[in-house]
Structure 1
Amino acid sequence: MATTDRYSRQATTLALAHALSAAERGLAVIPLSRTKLPALRSPHRDAPEPAGPPCHGECGRFGHGVYDASTDPARIRALFAAAPWATGYGIACGLPPHHLIGVDLDTKSDTDSTATLRELALRHLFTIPPTIVVLTPSGGRHLWLTGPPDVVVPNSAGRLAPGIDIRGAGGYLVGPGSRTAHGVYATAPGTAHLTPAPCPRSLLRLLLPPPRSPRTGPGSPAGGAHGRGLVQFVLAAHEGQRNTRLFWAACRAYEDGIGPELTEDLVEAAVRIGLTAREARGTITSAARMTTHRPEP
């Protein structure tokens, strides 16, 4: 038992050291358990949350998953102190300054995801620049890319292609040096000294959700199911992503022809997550202008 406890403490100490090192590079981190899940459980798990947007840490307690992520060494130490069983760390995607995008090339499917990515690159005329690559215990690879600050890339599983998952806003990547139940994540040889490379524009376009046709019906909110989805996307924003999520949702709404009727719902959602109505209307106006006068690619 003593040996097991000592091993666990060593794993936690190493995970904390790696997490602090990542934070020095501007990457916001959280502690993970051996299952790769956030190590701290939600403080709201035993009681219903109050009406309104879900709590993303406004209560002041830990346990909100990726919304706990930080680059502050004192906060990171406090997170790990609250989770002494943590053996790894997660790196939040989509946050400044890197706006990290993770391309997860899986090996569990029957498809060769690496070959699939090469085919996509040939078809859409892009190349993956030299960047950080993390090797997973199962033999997969995580490619680290950066996105522009005004674009919100959502998480997706297999939407880009079978065997390729995307970690974007609201998601996280398991950091190199993390120890899980299946092994250790490690930086691929020759990539540890690199910085995350910018995501090629052609690939970035593929990572954004396709426009959906608006669906309306008697008694439905503006824009129907699609409009509700865009409003919920804004409501799920946390500090640092509120304006970019609102801008992305407004762009999608105007592209799909439901911008004017969804404006008030988007403004209301933005106010509920902390923006002012004036800020929200300015962002929506910018989105309308961009989508109405979109230059040819």
Structure 2
Amino acid sequence: MATTVRHTAALALAHALSAAERGLPVFPLSPTKLPALRSPHRGRPEPVLCRGECGLPGHGVYDATTDPQAVRALFVAAPWATGYGIACGRPPYNLIGIDLDISGYEPAEGTTPDSVAALQQLAFEHLFTLPETVTVLTPSGGRHIWLSGPPNVVVPNSAGRLAPGIDVRGAGGYLVGPGSVTARGAYRLAGGTAELRPAPCPRALLRLLAPPAHHGHPRPGRPSRQGEGLVHFVLAAHEGQRNTRLFWAACRAYEHGFGDALAETLVEAALHTGLTEQEARATIASASRLTRGR
């Protein structure tokens, strides 16, 4: 068993180094697809808003690097890693991941899975064609489509905003790299795409992925000084943390008397992490009720 684990870890490092050589920033993942290294700030009484500025590993996607020596050091620190993540939204490709999830869906014979059909419908309605590009097959039967974005456009992460079953990985997000092994199985390149580079994202699709900011609301990442740290805390959330971080931040804002003033900015920040507006507003309302009842 130990030999198998070491072999899987060695393969993960080899695949990660190969990706880094092609200019893709990488970091180690555990079999759960989460960052393999725990935060060096864990156990602190208050959240530490650090994205690696402290110089220590354990900041998830913010550890991602293309430096082979640094990649090796990360994997040495996480010998249990069985895969690697690829940071999106970073030069040179400014990677955008279109995650077509079909887990739990068994298409009838001769039909197309919901998420694939939904993407085809979007392409038809908005007059774009998906180019030939890197495609990664997931253990659940889904696929990750890799696209390259322009350097001056920030694509936010989202879950189901384009259509049910379609998630988007953008700035601050990551994709599981091909060759990774997780608790559910292995990620592998689709046939005929191994030698491709991420193709440029069609402009019409890019407009759907990065819609203009809503007028009249503060832009996430540019909040007023009051509550700025809370907004950045929400923006740094990964999948599985989004509601918890939003609730915590909203509670602190209401406790300090500026919850109502910060609510819209927190909603915008939550949308950028992939929560829906309904989910975000419900979470903030719960925080308001809890703190006002204390």
TM-score by length of 2: 0.72
Aligned partners of 1:83 and 1:100: how far apart in 2? 25
Q: Is 1:148 the counterpart of 2:150 in the alignment?
A: yes
* 1:210 positional shift: 5.0
SS at match of 1:81: helix
Residue 45 of structure 2 is aligned to residue 43 of structure 1 = no
Confirm or deny that 1:195 pairs with 2:192. no
Residue 208 of structure 1 deviates from its aligned partner by: 1.3
2: CA distance, partners of 1:115 / 1:149: 29
Q: CA deviation at 1:165?
A: 0.2
Task: Name the aligned partner's letter for residue 148 of structure 2.
Answer: T
* Uncovered stretches (5+) of structure 1, i.e. residues with no partner: 215-222, 239-297
Residue 275 of structure 2 corresponds to which residue in structure 1? none
Tell me: CA distance 1:26–1:49, structure 2 relative to 1, closer, same or farther (3 Å).
Answer: farther
Amino acid at match of 1:72: D
Report the secondary structure of 2:123's partner residue.
Answer: helix
User: How far apart are 1:60 and its partner, in Å?
Assistant: 1.1
CA distance in 2, matches of 1:9, 1:35: 17
- Find 1:112's aligned residue among 90, 111, 114: 114
Aligned with residue 71 of structure 1, among 44, 66, 78: 66
What's the % identity of the aligned pairs? Answer: 67
Distance 1:33 1:77 in 2: 15
Counterpart Cα distance in 2 of 1:37 and 1:50: 19
The residue correspondences of 1:229-248 to structure 2 (distance < 5 A) are 230-231=222-223, 235=232
Structure-2 change in CA distance of 1:60 and 1:165 (3 Å): same
Corresponding residue for 2:89? 94
CA distance in 2 between partners of 1:227 and 1:151 (Å): 14
**TM-align CA RMSD:** 2.2
Which of 170, 173, 186 is the matching residue for 1:171? 173
Cα distance in 2 between the residues matched to 1:47 and 1:193: 45
Distance 1:35 1:197 in 2: 29
In structure 2, stretches of 5+ residues that fail to align are 106-112, 237-294
TM-aligned CA distance change 1:6 to 1:129, over 3 Å: same
User: Does structure 1 retain, via aligned residues, the 8 Å contact 2:213–2:219?
Assistant: no
Tell me the SS of whatever aligns to 2:27.
strand
Q: How does 1:274-293 map to 2 (within 5 A)?
A: none
Amino acid at match of 1:75: A
